[in-house]
């Protein structure tokens, strides 16, 4: 990577799930961003993007939580999240959330316009063409909905995965079909969600891949949880773990050491 | 059975559960091939995306000046000898249709496919008043025989298997001397056609829906694949069009733009087999056509959506692409939604028409995966509008108490970063230890919805923020 220009200051939005369940994804993001030439900082005041409240129809709480994010991430060149869903929330939905608050709007847009999903940021903004990583195995890739349809994440992870030594990609039929997570949906409508993730498990198993990757921890936990429950022998990981060469640091999601 | 008369949207959850367990339904729903066909059709039309923008703009413009276009339409229609009946409520629409039937002493009425007739529960009403409705669309005919509501807006009998159709025909066609159990769809079609042909000839009134109303010419348009609509509206003495105000489009040229999207989005056809324009009754120089041409325009809450967060929904052309691509609809079928319109478009429309207190579950039953919006030819922001319904539900305190408390507890912590860190640190540690042996948990208090079908992956043991500060902030 060419570092002769000014190194951008990136605020890492860790996301609440990565913080709680899988910090390794956060460290993988830090490594990938630093390798790409960024200066990475992690504002301590961050909690959550507010999506649980927003999607439950609770705009007031969503706005309060969002306001804290806007304050915490003021002044960075970019804000990057290892999640298309959280990045999409900030980039596309914050402006809608504060539509009635004219005074906030400049700050909202300022943040929204510089917020990115991790892998697309690396490729599209930082111009990363390859990663120094090794993963011996055949992977398949699920396109998480928000990343795909809100943030345009599709080719970027495949491009970088193509440069990982030892790794083979097998495309997943129905890769763009929702896995049934949907935030609170999966607990509000467990039977429907189960059907959707069950279909996904069949598609994944059908590829013959030994590992499933995706860019959003919510979807990954949903699929990993279904796999272990139903005995589907496919490892599940966040794409950043593989790209950062950190798959050796932790067992796959939902598996023991 | 009419869902408009007996809505079950409140029982959506139980309906969905039953639908998932219904093996016949699951078999019938298994080969819904519309999505793949749409993909291929769109691939063959490079300007498809540009057309979507145009179509959206046409409808937005029309909705902005709807009163003007409706008046213009009525004037043109009058000039061609037709009559408009404005109806605010389903009851008004039913009465308008009945009085037209009575004025000509009608005993039977043939019907082309119309969802608006479902919305006003027209069939049971006509039957009760001595007018026999005969469905002429094959799918509608099948479910009429079976006394079921449609489960899809363009393929009403999609929930019925071939074998079930054969059984139904055997039972109901015996009256016409048909007593053979059929196995080939072709034979079933022929048998139904033979019976319907007689009914076409004997009907006094023909009723169709309208895909579009054209202000410029005072015309209505229907698109069909079976040609039944043409017979329905040409053979009887009276043609009634049952429409709603948002079907309005300014000009014929506008319609042709939208028609290029409609069939491709619906079934992946370039065009439907029949596109039929009707303008007024038969003129002296016409060789056929009805003597009377009536257009019943039912509002039923639609114009009240103008100027609200739900106005965009009025762009809908009922193509069904959002249903065909919806993973939830595909899993449970249309009846589970409990009212007339299922799938994503129904989840937005139904709370608007029968109230969010009745239909609040529908806009909640979405992962917001966004597939519907991405295929909607009219670019209707369906997930965004489902979220607006959730907001209304939350404001009116209609959402389930457990959900509200959970949300309140989460919000309390999420607004206090220090408390939040304390709690997540604790949770990561406890759950990490608990799940260490297997890497996941089989049961988790308060998370039954999750662990009923899935294991819960164990956390690594410390939160990212703990580890980050341990490493020394950089
Ligand atoms: S909402 Fe869009 S995709 Fe769904 S039926 Fe209406 S026009 Fe078609």
Q: Which of B436, B18, B95 is nearest to B294 (CA)?
A: B95
Domain count, chain B: 3
Asked if residue B474 has pLDDT above 70, the reply is no
End-of-domain residue from the set A124, A152, A168: A124
| Closest Cβ opposite residue B424 in set A19, A145, A222 | A19
- For A120-159, b/e burial (b = at least 16 CB within 10 A) is bbbbebbebeebebebeeebbbbbbbbbbbbbebbebbbe
Half-sphere exposure of A122 (CA within 13 A, CB side): 30
| Closest Cβ opposite residue A52 in set B410, B439, B463 | B410
- Claim to verify: residue B187 and residue B328 sit in the same structural domain: no
Query: B456-471: per-residue pLDDT in tens?
Result: 999 999 999 999 999 8
- Claim to verify: residue A38 and residue A68 sit in the same structural domain: yes
What's residue A1's pLDDT? 45
- Claim to verify: residue A143 and residue A231 sit in the same structural domain: yes
- Claim to verify: residue B465 and residue B391 sit in the same structural domain: no
- Claim to verify: residue A119 and residue A165 sit in the same structural domain: no
Q: Which of A16, A70, A12, A73 is nearest to A38 (CA)?
A: A12
Whether residue A57 and residue B395 make contact (CB cut-off 8 A), yes or no, is yes
Of residues A161 and B200, which shows the higher confidence score?
A: A161
What's residue A2's pLDDT? 47
Asked if residue B198 has pLDDT above 60, the reply is yes
- Claim to verify: residue A28 and residue A73 sit in the same structural domain: yes
Which residues are CB-contacts of B7 (< 8 A; sequence separation ≥ 6)?
A: B338, B339, B354, B358, B359
Q: Containing H/E element for B392?
A: helix B382-395
Asked if residue B473 has pLDDT above 60, the reply is no
Q: Is residue A188 in a domain?
A: yes
- Claim to verify: residue B329 and residue B432 sit in the same structural domain: no
Q: Is residue B313 in a domain?
A: no
| Cα A51 to middle of ligand 1, angstroms | 26
Asked if residue A231 has pLDDT above 70, the reply is yes
Q: Is residue A151 in a domain?
A: yes
Count how many pairs of residues, chain A against chain B, have C-beta atoms within 8 Å: 209
For residue B238, list its beta bridge partners: B205, B292
Query: A63-87: per-residue pLDDT in tens?
Result: 999 999 999 999 999 999 999 999 9
Q: What is the CATH number of the domain that holds A208?
A: 3.40.50.11810
Q: Which of A141, A139, A69, A136 is nearest to A98 (CA)?
A: A69
| Closest Cβ opposite residue A190 in set B389, B453, B468 | B453
Domain count, chain A: 2
Report DSSP letters for B330-363, one per residue: HHH-SGGG-SSS-HHHHHHHHHHHH-HHHHTHHH
- Claim to verify: residue A68 and residue A49 sit in the same structural domain: yes
* A140 within 8 A of A204, measured Cβ to Cβ: yes
Chain A nearest-CA distance from B404, in A, is 9
Of A157-171, B116-130, B139-153, B393-407, minimum mean pLDDT range = B393-407
Q: Is residue A3 in a domain?
A: no
Which residues are CB-contacts of B163 (< 8 A; sequence separation ≥ 6)?
A: none
End-of-domain residue from the set A70, A96, A124: A124
Average pLDDT over residues A88-102: 96
- Claim to verify: residue A213 and residue A157 sit in the same structural domain: yes
Note down the domain range covering A33: 9-124
Provide the 10 A C-beta neighbour count for residue A75. 10
Q: Is residue B407 in a domain?
A: no
Q: State the Cα–Cα distance between residues B140 and B126, nearest whole angstrom.
A: 16
Chain A residues near residue B420 by CB distance under 8 angstroms: 47
End-of-domain residue from the set B352, B369, B401: B401
- Claim to verify: residue B192 and residue B281 sit in the same structural domain: yes
pTM of the predicted model, to two decimals? 0.95
Of residues A88 and B437, which shows the higher confidence score?
A: A88
Average pLDDT over residues A184-189: 93
Note down the domain range covering B337: 320-401
Chain B residues near residue A42 by CB distance under 8 angstroms: 464-465, 468, 473
Asked if residue A218 has pLDDT above 50, the reply is yes
Q: Is residue B309 in a domain?
A: no
What's residue B400's pLDDT? 83
- Claim to verify: residue B263 and residue B391 sit in the same structural domain: no
| Cα B318 to middle of ligand 1, angstroms | 5
Query: A154-178: per-residue pLDDT in tens?
Result: 999 999 999 999 999 999 999 999 9
Average pLDDT over residues B250-268: 96
Which residue of chain B has the CA closest to A52? B407
Which residues are CB-contacts of B386 (< 8 A; sequence separation ≥ 6)?
A: B344, B347, B348, B362, B363, B364, B366, B368
- Claim to verify: residue A242 and residue A135 sit in the same structural domain: yes
What residue ranges line ligand 1, CB within 6 angstroms? B 316-322, 345, 376-378, 380
End-of-domain residue from the set B341, B369, B401: B401
- Claim to verify: residue B57 and residue B180 sit in the same structural domain: yes
What's residue B471's pLDDT? 85
End-of-domain residue from the set A94, A124, A154: A124
Asked if residue A5 has pLDDT above 90, the reply is no
End-of-domain residue from the set B349, B373, B401: B401
Query: A25-76: per-residue pLDDT in tens?
Result: 999 999 999 999 999 999 999 999 999 999 999 999 999 999 999 999 999 9
Proportion of chain B above pLDDT 70, given as a percent: 99
Q: Is residue B311 in a domain?
A: no
- Claim to verify: residue B384 and residue B439 sit in the same structural domain: no
Q: Containing H/E element for B249?
A: strand B248-249
* B157 within 8 A of B150, measured Cβ to Cβ: yes
* A164 within 8 A of A243, measured Cβ to Cβ: yes
Q: Is residue B314 in a domain?
A: no
pLDDT band at B397 (very low <50, low <70, confident <90, very high): confident
For chain A, give the longest Cα–Cα distance: 54
- Claim to verify: residue B397 and residue B417 sit in the same structural domain: no
| Among B316, B320, B340, B386, residue to substitute to test ligand 1 (most atoms within 8 Å of Cβ) | B316
What's chain B's average pLDDT?
94
Q: Is residue A71 in a domain?
A: yes
What's chain A's average pLDDT?
96
pLDDT band at B56 (very low <50, low <70, confident <90, very high): very high
| Closest Cβ opposite residue A53 in set B407, B462, B469 | B407
- Claim to verify: residue A74 and residue A57 sit in the same structural domain: yes
- Claim to verify: residue A55 and residue A113 sit in the same structural domain: yes
- Claim to verify: residue B171 and residue B41 sit in the same structural domain: yes
Whether residue B464 and residue A194 make contact (CB cut-off 8 A), yes or no, is no
For chain B, give the longest Cα–Cα distance: 92
Chain B residues near residue A47 by CB distance under 8 angstroms: 414-415, 417, 420
Q: What is the CATH number of the domain that holds B60?
A: 3.40.50.10420
Whether residue A27 and residue B464 make contact (CB cut-off 8 A), yes or no, is yes
- Claim to verify: residue A181 and residue A90 sit in the same structural domain: no
| Cα B215 to middle of ligand 1, angstroms | 22
Q: What is the CATH number of the domain that holds A67?
A: 3.40.50
Q: Is residue B308 in a domain?
A: no
- Claim to verify: residue A115 and residue A178 sit in the same structural domain: no
- Claim to verify: residue A63 and residue A148 sit in the same structural domain: no
């Amino acid at each position: 990577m060419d570092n002769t220009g000014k190194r951008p200051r990136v605020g890492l939005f860790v996301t609440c799930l990565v913080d709680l369940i899988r910090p390794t994804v956060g460290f993988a993001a830090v490594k990938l961003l630093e390798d790409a030439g960024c200066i990475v900082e992690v504002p301590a005041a961050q909690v959550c993007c507010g999506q649980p409240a927003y999607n439950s129809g609770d705009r007031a709480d969503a706005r309060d939580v969002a306001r804290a994010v806007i304050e915490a991430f003021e002044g960075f060149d970019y804000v990057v999240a290892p999640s298309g869903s959280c990045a999409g929330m900030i980039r596309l939905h914050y402006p809608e959330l504060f539509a009635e608050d004219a005074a906030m709007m400049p700050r909202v847009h300022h943040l929204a316009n510089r917020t990115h999903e991790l892998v697309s940021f690396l490729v599209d903004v930082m111009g990363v063409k390859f990663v120094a990583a090794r993963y011996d195995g055949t992977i398949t890739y699920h396109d998480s909905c928000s990343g795909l349809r809100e943030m345009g994440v599709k080719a970027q992870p495949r491009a970088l995965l193509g440069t990982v030594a030892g790794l083979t990609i097998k495309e997943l039929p129905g890769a763009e079909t929702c896995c049934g997570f949907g935030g609170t949906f999966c607990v509000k409508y467990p039977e429907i969600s189960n059907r959707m993730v069950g279909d996904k498990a069949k598609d994944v198993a059908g590829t013959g891949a030994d590992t499933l990757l995706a860019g959003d921890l919510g979807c990954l936990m949903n699929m990993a949880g279904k796999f272990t429950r139903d005995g589907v022998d496919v490892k599940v990981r966040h794409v950043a773990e593989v790209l950062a060469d950190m798959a050796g640091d932790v067992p796959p999601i939902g598996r023991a050491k | 059975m009419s869902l408009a008369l007996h809505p079950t949207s409140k029982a959506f959850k139980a309906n969905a559960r039953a639908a998932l367990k219904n093996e016949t339904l699951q078999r019938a729903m298994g080969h819904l091939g519309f999505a793949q066909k749409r993909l291929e059709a769109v691939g063959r039309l490079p300007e498809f995306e540009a057309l979507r923008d145009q179509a959206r703009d046409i409808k937005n413009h029309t909705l902005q000046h709807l009163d003007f276009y409706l008046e213009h339409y009525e004037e043109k229609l009058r000039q061609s000898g037709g009559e408009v009946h404005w109806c605010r409520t389903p009851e008004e629409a039913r009465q308008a249709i009945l009085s037209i039937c009575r004025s000509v002493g009608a005993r039977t009425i043939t019907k082309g496919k119309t969802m608006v007739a479902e919305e006003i529960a027209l069939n049971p009403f006509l039957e009760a008043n001595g007018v026999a409705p005969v469905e002429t669309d094959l799918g509608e005919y099948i479910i009429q025989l079976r006394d079921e509501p449609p489960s899809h807006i363009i393929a009403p009998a999609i929930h019925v298997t071939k074998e079930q159709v054969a059984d139904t025909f055997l039972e109901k066609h015996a009256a016409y001397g048909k007593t053979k159990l059929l196995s080939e769809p072709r034979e079933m079609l022929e048998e139904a056609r033979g019976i319907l042909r007689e009914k076409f000839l004997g009907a006094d009134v023909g009723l169709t829906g309208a895909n579009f109303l054209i202000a410029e010419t005072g015309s209505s348009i229907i698109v069909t694949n079976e040609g039944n609509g043409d017979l329905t509206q040409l053979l009887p003495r009276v043609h009634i069009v049952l429409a709603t105000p948002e079907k309005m489009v300014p000009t014929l040229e506008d319609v042709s733009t939208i028609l290029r999207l409609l069939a491709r989005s619906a079934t992946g056809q370039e065009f439907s087999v029949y596109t039929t324009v009707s303008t007024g009754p038969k003129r002296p120089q016409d060789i056929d056509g009805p003597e009377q041409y009536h257009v019943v325009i039912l509002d039923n809450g639609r114009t009240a959506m103008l100027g609200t967060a739900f106005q965009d929904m009025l762009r809908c052309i009922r193509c069904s692409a959002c249903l065909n691509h919806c993973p939830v609809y595909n899993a449970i079928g249309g009846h589970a939604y409990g009212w007339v319109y299922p799938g994503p478009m129904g989840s937005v429309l139904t709370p608007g028409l029968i109230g969010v207190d009745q239909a609040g579950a529908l806009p909640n039953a979405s992962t917001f995966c966004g597939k519907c919006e991405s295929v909607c030819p009219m670019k209707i922001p369906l997930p965004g509008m489902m979220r607006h319904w959730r907001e209304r539900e939350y404001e009116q305190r209609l959402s389930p108490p457990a959900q509200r408390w959970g949300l309140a507890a989460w919000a309390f912590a999420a607004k206090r970063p220090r408390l939040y860190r304390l709690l997540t640190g604790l949770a990561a540690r406890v759950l990490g230890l608990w799940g260490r042996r297997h890497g996941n948990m089989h049961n988790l208090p308060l998370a039954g919805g999750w662990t009923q079908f899935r294991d819960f992956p164990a956390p690594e043991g410390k939160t990212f923020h703990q580890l980050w500060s341990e490493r020394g902030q950089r």
